[in-house]
Amino acid sequence: MNGNEHVFDDRPPGVRPQENTANFLSYTVGLVLAIAATIGSFVVSQTDLLWPPGVPVGLIVLAIAQIGVHLVFFLHLGSGSDNTNNILALAFGMLIVFLVITGSCWIIANLNDNMMPMPAH
Amino acid sequence: MTIAIVDTLPAETVSGRGGGGPAPTRTTIAYGFWIFILSDMVMFSAMFAAYAVLSGNTAGGPTGRELFNLHNVFIETACLLFSSYTCGLGMLSAERRELSRFLVFAAFTLALGAAFLTVEISEFAGMVEKGAGPSRSAFLSSFFGLVGMHGAHLTVGLVWLVYTVAQALAKGLRPVVLRRLACFSLFWHALDIVWIGVMTLVYLMGDR
């Protein structure tokens, strides 16, 4: 194996690519972005800045953006080859989470639609 | 013995996916814990699904709009976000073997986590006092289930943090303590991610 050859190396989640002074910066950038997304969520939900029927979509978009910020800047998950195993596991977890949540909502919405009308109590 | 040898190999000589022999202990332990966290997320997804399905079923009782205090939620969110930040900085200090800085950051993490729990417990107590306890409606059962589960995780996390700091004090920041600390840090960041979902789905959407 010569020195120039690129060697794939597994990196655990939560570990930075190399120890350097940029680590503190990474956490701080993450914190600033997360604060921005959080304040954005509160502003969107409490004001009419967005078209009102679009507010839930706006909130979901902001939440997904903030989760992305946390994964990249706090958990240091990246697209590098040393992160392949971590990302694959995350992708599988997200698939299951997606199936459970949307599947439940879909099935129960169908059941509610097909309910016999019930007298109000 | 083998493990100790593998652990000291420089990262460049270890190639991934089984190619260069066993991965370092640090890698395998954190990866295993990552799998646990993802399975925990799957468990949380069931609680989120239950809440999404049941949040409209208030059985004539109070709705989220009447119960939630977004001022408190904002304080809780800020506490968790900053505790995630200090937890990350604490890990950095620990990896650089700076014990006193690590202790300062761990104290901040603990204090912010405890502040979050205090606000949450007082919120729960106020709701139960108003007759809006978990047995009032399906909405409130799923609310206390989901938010309470997150709070329970956080409580376990705080106990774990105290335990790990005690280990760092007793044994020093040696590799085994650092690995446990790394697992705690993953757990703590993951709980912050779950809270983003709770904040958005339960409080911000429920308040409208």
> d(Cα A11, Cα A76) in Å, to the nearest integer?
10
Nearest Cα to B144, choosing from B81, B67, B200, B83? B67
Look at chain B and report how many structural domains it folds into. 1
> Number of residue pairs across A and B with CB atoms under 8 Å?
149
Tens-digit pLDDT profile for residues B58-113 = 888 898 889 999 999 999 999 999 999 999 999 999 988 999 999 999 999 999 99
Residue B194, domain member (yes or no): yes
Chain B environment of A65 (Cβ under 8 Å):
none
Residue B82, domain member (yes or no): yes
| pLDDT score at B140 | 95
* Candidate ranges B6-10, B11-15, B77-81; pick with highest mean pLDDT: B77-81
Cβ–Cβ contact B41 with A under 8 A:
yes
Label residue A39 exposed, middle or buried (CB < 10 Å: 0-12, 13-18, 19+).
Answer: middle
Average pLDDT (A50-71) is: 93
B38: domain CATH number?
1.20.120.80
Cβ–Cβ contact B4 with A under 8 A:
no
Q: Where are the alpha helices (DSSP H) in B55-98?
A: 64-67, 70-95
Range of the domain at B151: 23-206
> d(Cα B185, Cα A121) in Å, to the nearest integer?
49
Residues 6+ apart with CB under 8 A from B67: B127, B130, B132
Least confident range from A66-75, B21-30, B96-105: namely B21-30
Q: Is the pLDDT of residue B6 over 70?
A: no
Pick B16's closest partner by Cβ from A8, A96, A105.
A8
| pLDDT score at B71 | 93
Residue B54, domain member (yes or no): yes
Least confident range from A9-18, A51-60, B62-71, B185-194: namely A9-18
Residue B18, domain member (yes or no): no
Q: Are A26 and A76 in contact (CB under 8 A)?
A: yes
Cβ–Cβ contact B36 with A under 8 A:
no
Running DSSP on this structure, what letter comes out for residue A115?
Answer: S
- Name residues 27-66 of chain A within 8 A of B (Cβ): 27-28, 30-31, 34-35, 38, 41-42, 44-46, 55-56, 59-60, 62-63, 66
| pLDDT score at A82 | 76
Q: Are B7 and B25 in contact (CB under 8 A)?
A: yes
Identify residue B81 by its one-letter amino acid code: L
Chain B environment of A92 (Cβ under 8 Å):
38
Q: Is the pLDDT of residue A19 over 80?
A: no
Least confident range from A73-82, B166-175, B178-187: namely A73-82
Q: Is the pLDDT of residue A13 over 50?
A: yes
Higher pLDDT, B109 or A121: B109
For residue B179 the two structure tokens come to 């690995």
**Residue B45 and residue A19: Cβ atoms within 8 Å?**
no
| pLDDT score at A17 | 57
Q: Give A116→chain B minimum CA distance, Å.
A: 17
**Residue A12 and residue B11: Cβ atoms within 8 Å?**
no
Counting every residue, how long is chain A?
121
Chain A environment of B48 (Cβ under 8 Å):
101
Cα B179 to Cα B30, B94, B159: the distances in Å are 8, 10, 17
| pLDDT score at A16 | 63
**pLDDT category, B12, cuts 50, 70, 90?**
low
Residue B180, domain member (yes or no): yes
| pLDDT score at B16 | 53
Identify residue B88 by its one-letter amino acid code: G
Q: Is the pLDDT of residue B22 over 90?
A: no
Q: Is the pLDDT of residue B189 over 90?
A: yes
